[in-house]
Amino acid sequence: MAATDTRLRTQEEITARVKALEAVLIEKGVLTTAAVDRLAEVYENEVGPQLGAKVVARAWSDPEFKSRLLADATAACSELGIGGLQGEDMTVVENTDTVHNVIVCTLCSCYPWPVLGLPPNWYKAPPFRARIVREPRKLLAEDFGFTVPDSVEIRVWDSSSELRYWVLPQRPAGTDGLSVEQLAALVTRDSMIGVGPVAAPAS
């Protein structure tokens, strides 16, 4: 509970700083409220987790595409018209029955924006960036309610401005008859960062 409270306080502090900076930039004429709204709209609707989910669902459904994605994520995403700023050099790592991957940027907040959207506040917070490297299993359980079995190895990948990682989560059971669109609806941003699983479809 204490770790969660700390994370929430950190998120609130970051949000307050962003709002203050936004207000100053608008006041000085560097930005307009319309420009800020448009940027938010772009990353909410035109790029973001829904695009990453589309890539994951395609990989689950098409073994050849999956092979291309794991070999060169940037090129594979471009096949679907996905790419751009902060997505020039991406690498996808695959979760399996024996390996669970999680992504961090220990220096700042490098992140594959075209497929995941804007990074969440907790991803940028120093407590997450420090603890996920030292004690990933404990942090995932305490802060995200996600228990990774001791039999599964956790690998932590450190993104940078030169190379941004993201996760190909495991396809959940009970999804054999689902379409690509239905599969994509199951995929979350957190599952592509590695801090949560993809939930099985509701029966």
Which residues lie below 8 Å from residue 183, measured CB to CB, with a gap of 6+? 56, 57, 60, 61, 171, 175
Nearest Cα to Cα of residue 60 among 193, 195, 174: 174
The catalytic residues are 105, 108-110
108 in a labelled binding site: yes
Hey, how many other C-beta atoms are within 10 angstroms of the C-beta on 182? Answer: 12
Nearest Cα to Cα of residue 14 among 146, 128, 151, 99: 128
110 in a labelled binding site: yes
Annotated binding site for Fe(3+): 105, 108-110
